[in-house]
Structure 1
Amino acid sequence: MGKKVKKESETPCKETFDPLPVEGKTPATVVLLLSSPEEDILIKACEAIHTFAEKGDENKVSLLGLGALQPLCQLITHSNKLVRRNAFMALGIMATNSDVKTALKKIDVIPSIIDKLSLEEDTVVHEFATLCLASLSVDFICKVQIFDNKGLPPLIQLLSSLDPDVQKHSLEIIFNLVQDYQSRLAVHGLGGIPPLLDLLKSDFLAIQHLALKTLQNITTDKDTRNTFREEQGFENLMDILDNKDFTDLHAEALQVVANCLNDSESFQLINKGGGLTRLMEFVLTPTAPEIQSNTVKCIARVAQSSENRKLLHEQDVEKVLVELLSVANDSVKTATCHAVAAMSFNLASKDSFRDLGGFPAVVQSLSSESLTLREAATQALSNLTHNNQLNIFAVYEAGGHEFLVQQLHDSCPRTVANAAATLGNMAGQEVIRCSILSYGAIQALVEPLKSTDTQVLVNTTLCLAVLACDTDARAELQIAGGLHPLVNLLRSHHKEVLYNTCLAVNVCASDEPNAVEMCKYGALEMLQEINQSVNRRSRFSELAMISLLNSNLSLKYSLTGCLASSDIITDGFYDTGKAGSGQRVLTLEELSKQPVNQHRPIIAVNTVSDETGDAPEERQSNPSETDTSSKGGRRTPRRRKEDDKQKDEAQPESPTEKLWKMMDDIPLQNLVKEAKESILPLNDEWEQYAALARLVSRTMGGAVEIEKLHKFPWELHLSELKFEFQSNVIPIGIIGKGIYCHRALLFKCLADCIGMSCTLVRGEYNRAWNEILLFKGNPSSNEHSSQPCRLIVDLMHQPGNLLKTKTAAAVQYQTI
């Protein structure tokens, strides 16, 4: 038998359920009704949710928890207009809550909302759809989604809506979007300027505020400003500024004016229409400080152009600005100082500010507690004093330099930079420089030298270069520890910082102690590296290098192998031999502490008597000190008595004590005395140099034939001296057997001591020579030549012979 099955109904039931009134008393029940297929129920449910959500944020959060958001986002696209309208009302109200807004960002609802912004849609839908987007558009990602989904075109259309709420919400969204450059351009391209200008005439203050704030953002673009001008935007703004009933709008209106006055064309237009005169009158009219400061900002913005500055000067803007400096409000003063700084690029304006007595007010602002005012005041003074001596003295007479030195300690880098620039401008005048230094400017500059702000470094190093031309100032800089951070700036790859640092190093190196200390910090090595670089080398770095070397002739001779006739050898000079590129030359103290080695000795110079104060003659007669057994009557130290030796062994000398005793070069002192007594009285300059050459030769072993030079035992002699003194440093006066390099150094040393002029040049393979300039013949005779003759002094083979440079004999003397 077959299986029994249920008989199906042939036709469905045509009966409908009688209408059932639904009464939901709990939010959960109403949320469940959002899923109903019946439109009447959906309309009532959405309306109930809207009413419930309006009562507060707790209700909105409660609805979110019950899952109302997802079905509402679906219902805004429902085919029934009433369902859509009520769903938008509920969703719009809920979206004002931050928790709901966060949840909405996770739902891709923005395209659906934008789709319902068409003009065919109900105004209520527009109101709540824009309310929803206004809440979401604060978020960056949502702004991008609105823009990408082409939300701007319908929003700009809705600016012309008859409903003020739609206008306001649409404006809010557009304002949020135009914070980004791409949207600013799009608003202009989509014709957004005319409707925005129309909204300036709205009856609602909030809409006017939003319209002005939006215009302020989009008029930062030049093309937008052109359209704004063509659409009579200036006239609209000036009408607002002239209307005393619109004082609440003046601040925003002035900010838009400030943007638009960036263009010369716009400024010319407003000036021709009398707008500039009206602006001047407006700025002096007593009003709220914010409005007054914004008006001055307009002037500062206008003054960015040289053509505009001329027009402003013709309108006596300086008089207006000087009056505003006396206003008892920091924001107004700050804006005024910025305007003064901008106008100071006009030479006539610089003089006008001085003639109108504006400097005391600007200087007084330096003592304000406001950081922004102090910064603006220093900027104004920096610009006013640039290349203007009369203004420099006006600041000085107002006591500005004292306040400016204090600003070097300020926490704001811009203030420090401006103060340093102004002080640098002023320090060119000696009387002012001395006064600036008296207020501790040098010490105040030390900390800014460690700054990481480029402009601070640029201005500080330049200011230091000007102030440090005073000897006491350079000494103060060394004591204050400013040389180390200054030298560190030689590592900078910023062109201007490096230039100014080299300039300051050049000035500070005028004193030998400073030069020595900077070399200790590696200044010389850094400058060598800079001068070898194509990109970093400059005339400033070359000058700094020269100054350092000129203040430390030992380094100069070691690195360059040449001392000019103007380079006078003094006590403490030492010759270490030729130094390689980038090699650091050790100090004499460092060299004296090294153990005796096999390298060439360091030759030191000292003509000062030791601590006992004994005269050279008395020391010379002391048999325990000297001996006349060496060649040419040369007096050299002889070995100490055995008991002295034992005493020294019991109490070994410290390196410093050993250095001092070695530098007490009695034989050299005697040579200087002999040169003064025997050579200076000679009348003929040629004979003086020849006699000095013979003295040097006799002192260092006499004449040596070229063929027998290899037999001359100078190396053994120097090794014996190093062993005897137990030091690598040998005083030049005790050398009894020397060749070219030793004799040339002694010749230069003696010549400098007695006032004769010569150079010292190092050659290769222990060669060195002295070059002198002499006129041929007797200056009083007719045979005298007007052109001096360059000569090389022979100290080795025919002592006293003067060889004309570039001749075969001279070349043979200089080379092997």
Structure 2
Amino acid sequence: MGKKVKKEAESPTTDVFDPLPIESKNAATVVLMLKSPEEEILAKACEAIHKFAEKADENKTTLLDLGAVEPLSKLVSHEDKAVQRNAIMAVGVMASCSDVRRVLKKYDVIPAMIGKLSPEEDLAVHEFATLCLALLSVDYICKVQIFDHDGLEPLIQLLSSPDPDVKKNSVECIFNLVQDFPVRLALCELNGIPPLLEQLSSEFPIIQQLALRTLQSVTTDLRTHSAFREEQGFDRLLEVLTNKEFSDLHLEALQVISNCLEDIESMRFFQETGGLEKLLQFVITATQPEVQTNAIKAITRAAQSGDSRKILHEQEVEKALVHLLVVENDSVQTATCQAVAAMCKNLTSQDTFRHLEGIKPIVQLLSSEDTELREAAAQALSSLTTGNQLNAYVVYEADGDKLLVQQLLDECPGTVAYAAAVLTSMASQESLRRSILAHGGAQMLVEPLQSTDRHVLVCATQAVAALACDAEARAEFTRAGGLPLLVKLLESSNSEIRRNACWAVSVCASDEPTVTKMCKFGALEILQEINTSTNRKNKFSEVALQRLLDGNLSVKYSLTGCLSPSDIITDGFYDPGQTRAGHKVPSLEDLSKQAVNQRRAIIAVNGKPQDQVCKEPSEERQDSPTDAHALGRRGNSKTLSRGKSRGPKDDDKQKDDDEGTPQVEVESEGPGILPCDPALQDLVTEAAKIAQAAHEERELYSALAKLVCDAMGGPVDPDKHHDFLWELHLSELKLEMQSNIIPVGKIKMGTYYHRALLYKVLADRIGVSCSLVRGDYNRAWNEVLLSSSLLKVAGGYPEPRRYVVDLMHNPGNLMMSNSPAATQYQTI
């Protein structure tokens, strides 16, 4: 037998690396390990980075600087589940750093994260994937990417996850997504409202709050309200409101209800199911002022709709609001006043608040030190008194007019505007208007007219218009310097301000002194310019211009060349000649200061009796007896009794016919100084006698024409008109009086326009209807209406015809308008 030989050991393989246990304390080393091909090392490296990142925000920045984000963003899609899970956890934690999120956007990690939301993935993957998406969804671009990659549906499904962290992250991401309009409707289509409502029962407040905030955003779209109602959303919200343990959620729940109540269908549903009654009860019984305030705001939002206001009125919401007016909290009272203002768009509610004695408490709130509360109280009173005179009187009885006048100087523009609006409503009652004026209402409006706030200017100009119908108010407003401010607003670029300013100007133009002052400030030129503009012109500007002209006949005649029968010439009238459109008519005061010149004489009217002229200015002026009344008793003419007579004083009044008598200057109703004109007064007396003796209209008009013709040089042959030296006569009068202003009665040689003016003056003084029309080349004429018994209309009444009165050639001849004779008289 051979000897046994020992078997030699096998030599080790040369290409195998022996296992090497690694323990690293350097983050850079671990980051380098993320590029390892070994799954075990990758998993351990991702896990180490996750733990390191969780410790501090600085660690996340360190990892970013070391370049960890790029390899991690790739590893979230690794084939190995452990590597994948740990990488997602690391990325999810690091995404809380804004710099990391900015880098993650470049590596398009969102599709991979959405892919990990499938039910097959474990809870840890769901938790950190949803965390990453929630953090990224703050960015608009990321939100779009999540939605475009169909990330909404799996997020909704994860609301049913057993893990509260997954629920929290998912609802937070959904909340960020629904801030964009298209996502809200998509959530509703994906049946996302039921799982959101389920989160209201969560034991975690953060999940409840996020769910409510998400519902708040979703319900801003009216198309989601139907689904909300069908899923008993109102019931779930009322459960939250009635649960005192959920008091921290009441604000969010009320905001969701507020959104839904803007929809009339939801409003009806809420009422029919008893929810509205419960809400009103909650409003009254709530102990937290902030919650009460938001509940009232929900009612206010609902009250913006007319149909909803009707439902709220049926539910007697006014009672609840009146109850809340006395709650000692500024925010609650402010919200309540705003709700009252909204409800008062329903006229029935206006009366209900009055019957419930809710107006006086609101008036008292005007004295509050809280700026916002004063504004809300003024707003409520504005709505309460709009078109409601009974409510306006209740405000007055509560001394509201005094407080409202004081609010015109408030620092808050809204308070000023609403206060002015209430005063406007109150001013339609005379007793209330007098009380407002007694408290300085007219003067106080001057300050708001200087505001730059549109609402203030609109309401202030309306208040001026409401108060200026009173002569005392106009005087006080003028003394306080309001007229130039009002005139300036005519040039406003805002159409509403301009329109209201025009209306206020038209109301202020109720007396000649005020008209004169407004014209001095340029109102006439501004309105003329406005009315030539197709864009700025409006009915109010037309009325304002007409009222200014009607209030200053001198300016009207100079600009328009026509005075109608209703334009009654009074003392102070002057004719400066034709003024071109867009040019300013010089005032009588300015004209009186000019040296005697060769220009056209200014013809003036001042027929006051001599003894009245010499009275002290403080003496009361008495109107003279009117002969027109006697004429009117005849009943044979409608036109004879028109206008107020300016007849002479009794016969025992002495007249001074001596032309050498020293001039007595009298301040006219206009701004200038006019010389006394006793000759005109004599002619008025003669005209009154003619009127008493006349038996019919034609006779009266003809006789009056002869009187005028005789007073101004007699008949003039048309062929010898050049021999009638009226111009020389006027020049002599100017030199004699050392003035360019000539009283009409002193003219003894007058041509067409002198005679036509005198005829109009005399006719107006005795109450006879006639017009005055200016033509070209010193022509002017008078037109009168006469009824012919030969002309019949269907009703059998005489049809009036217009006639031109001849004052020059055949005095007293009445020529039918547009006839050859009339045309020849009117033109050269």
Change (3 A) 1:151 1:688: same
Whole-Å separation in 2 of the counterparts to 1:344 and 1:146? 46
What is the match of residue 324 of structure 1? 324
Question: How many angstroms does 1:466 deviate by?
Answer: 0.9
User: Per-residue displacement from partner, 1:4-56 (whole Å, max 9, x unpaired)?
Assistant: xxxxxxxxx96232222222223333333333333333322222222222222
Question: How many angstroms does 1:211 deviate by?
Answer: 0.6
Match status 1:707 vs 2:719: yes
Amino acid at match of 2:297: K
What is the match of residue 665 of structure 1? 675
Question: How many angstroms does 1:177 deviate by?
Answer: 2.5
User: Per-residue displacement from partner, 1:240-290 (whole Å, max 9, x unpaired)?
Assistant: 223333222222112211221222322222322222222232222242122
What is the match of residue 309 of structure 1? 309
More displaced stretch, 304-313 vs 414-423: 304-313
Whole-Å separation in 1 of the counterparts to 2:663 and 2:412? 66
Whole-Å separation in 1 of the counterparts to 2:106 and 2:520? 65
What is the match of residue 622 of structure 1? 660
Q: Which of 770, 774, 778 is 1:766 aligned to?
A: 778
What is the match of residue 258 of structure 1? 258
More displaced stretch, 600-609 vs 308-317: 600-609
Question: How many angstroms does 1:346 deviate by?
Answer: 3.1
Amino acid at match of 1:684: A
Given that 2:587 and 2:671 are in contact with CA atoms closer than 8 Å, whether structure 1 keeps it comes out as: no
1:642-681 residue pairs with structure 2 within 5 A? 664-666=674-676, 669-681=677-689
1:160-179 residue pairs with structure 2 within 5 A? 160-179=160-179
Whole-Å separation in 2 of the counterparts to 1:375 and 1:625? 61
1:601-616 residue pairs with structure 2 within 5 A? 601-607=601-607
1:241-640 residue pairs with structure 2 within 5 A? 241-492=241-492, 496-533=496-533, 536-591=536-591, 600-607=600-607, 620=658, 622=660
Whole-Å separation in 2 of the counterparts to 1:392 and 1:805? 54
- Unaligned 5+ runs, structure 1: 1-12, 627-656, 778-784
Whole-Å separation in 2 of the counterparts to 1:593 and 1:691? 38
Match status 1:739 vs 2:751: yes
User: Per-residue displacement from partner, 1:274-310 (whole Å, max 9, x unpaired)?
Assistant: 2222223222224212222222233333333444434
More displaced stretch, 506-515 vs 78-87: 78-87
Q: SS of the counterpart of 1:127? A: helix
Question: How many angstroms does 1:795 deviate by?
Answer: 1.9
Amino acid at match of 1:204: F
Change (3 A) 1:814 1:68: same
What is the match of residue 227 of structure 2? 227
Change (3 A) 1:507 1:286: same
What is the match of residue 25 of structure 2? 25
Whole-Å separation in 2 of the counterparts to 1:95 and 1:432? 69
Match status 1:697 vs 2:713: no
Amino acid at match of 1:620: D
Change (3 A) 1:63 1:403: farther
Whole-Å separation in 1 of the counterparts to 2:675 and 2:323? 74
Question: How many angstroms does 1:59 deviate by?
Answer: 2.6
Question: How many angstroms does 1:219 deviate by?
Answer: 0.7
Amino acid at match of 2:678: N
Question: How many angstroms does 1:552 deviate by?
Answer: 1.0
More displaced stretch, 106-115 vs 471-480: 106-115
Change (3 A) 1:371 1:108: farther
Whole-Å separation in 1 of the counterparts to 2:593 and 2:342? 61
Amino acid at match of 2:277: T
Whole-Å separation in 1 of the counterparts to 2:654 and 2:83? 120
Q: SS of the counterpart of 1:366? A: helix
User: Per-residue displacement from partner, 1:422-468 (whole Å, max 9, x unpaired)?
Assistant: 22111111111122223333333334334454443333322221111
Given that 1:794 and 1:813 are in contact with CA atoms closer than 8 Å, whether structure 2 keeps it comes out as: yes
Q: SS of the counterpart of 2:773? A: strand
Amino acid at match of 1:764: D
Amino acid at match of 2:230: E
Change (3 A) 1:363 1:617: closer
Amino acid at match of 1:366: L
More displaced stretch, 523-532 vs 235-244: 523-532
Given that 1:675 and 1:754 are in contact with CA atoms closer than 8 Å, whether structure 2 keeps it comes out as: no
Whole-Å separation in 2 of the counterparts to 1:546 and 1:726? 35
Question: How many angstroms does 1:787 deviate by?
Answer: 8.5
Whole-Å separation in 2 of the counterparts to 1:76 and 1:517? 84
User: Per-residue displacement from partner, 1:601-647 (whole Å, max 9, x unpaired)?
Assistant: 44344456799959997793639999xxxxxxxxxxxxxxxxxxxxx
Question: How many angstroms does 1:196 deviate by?
Answer: 1.0
Question: How many angstroms does 1:363 deviate by?
Answer: 1.6
Question: How many angstroms does 1:214 deviate by?
Answer: 0.9
What is the match of residue 201 of structure 1? 201
Given that 2:296 and 2:336 are in contact with CA atoms closer than 8 Å, whether structure 1 keeps it comes out as: yes
Question: How many angstroms does 1:225 deviate by?
Answer: 0.4
Question: How many angstroms does 1:507 deviate by?
Answer: 0.4
Question: How many angstroms does 1:195 deviate by?
Answer: 1.6
Change (3 A) 1:670 1:292: closer
Given that 1:680 and 1:688 are in contact with CA atoms closer than 8 Å, whether structure 2 keeps it comes out as: no
Question: How many angstroms does 1:753 deviate by?
Answer: 5.1
Whole-Å separation in 1 of the counterparts to 2:536 and 2:672? 42
Amino acid at match of 2:70: Q
The alignment covers a number of residue pairs equal to: 764
What is the match of residue 140 of structure 2? 140
Amino acid at match of 1:256: V
Q: SS of the counterpart of 1:200? A: helix
Question: How many angstroms does 1:107 deviate by?
Answer: 5.5
Please report the RMSD computed on the Cα atoms of aligned residues, expressed in angstroms. Answer: 3.6
Q: SS of the counterpart of 1:46? A: helix
Whole-Å separation in 2 of the counterparts to 1:59 and 1:662? 91
Q: SS of the counterpart of 1:60? A: helix
More displaced stretch, 498-507 vs 30-39: 30-39
Q: SS of the counterpart of 2:401? A: helix
Q: SS of the counterpart of 1:680? A: helix
Whole-Å separation in 1 of the counterparts to 2:289 and 2:237? 19
What is the match of residue 80 of structure 1? 80
Whole-Å separation in 1 of the counterparts to 2:136 and 2:481? 57
Given that 2:306 and 2:346 are in contact with CA atoms closer than 8 Å, whether structure 1 keeps it comes out as: yes
Question: How many angstroms does 1:547 deviate by?
Answer: 0.9
Change (3 A) 1:175 1:432: same
Whole-Å separation in 2 of the counterparts to 1:622 and 1:346? 75
Q: Which of 760, 763, 775 is 1:748 aligned to?
A: 760
- Unaligned 5+ runs, structure 2: 1-12, 616-652, 790-796
More displaced stretch, 412-421 vs 614-623: 614-623
Amino acid at match of 1:281: Q
Whole-Å separation in 2 of the counterparts to 1:86 and 1:700? 118
Given that 2:663 and 2:675 are in contact with CA atoms closer than 8 Å, whether structure 1 keeps it comes out as: no
Whole-Å separation in 2 of the counterparts to 1:610 and 1:117? 108
Whole-Å separation in 1 of the counterparts to 2:410 and 2:671? 51
Question: How many angstroms does 1:809 deviate by?
Answer: 4.1
Q: SS of the counterpart of 1:770? A: strand
What is the match of residue 684 of structure 1? 693
What is the match of residue 159 of structure 1? 159
Provide the TM-score with structure 1 as the length reference: 0.84
Given that 2:159 and 2:167 are in contact with CA atoms closer than 8 Å, whether structure 1 keeps it comes out as: yes
Amino acid at match of 2:805: V
Whole-Å separation in 2 of the counterparts to 1:341 and 1:790? 57
More displaced stretch, 156-165 vs 441-450: 441-450
Amino acid at match of 1:208: Q
Amino acid at match of 1:129: A
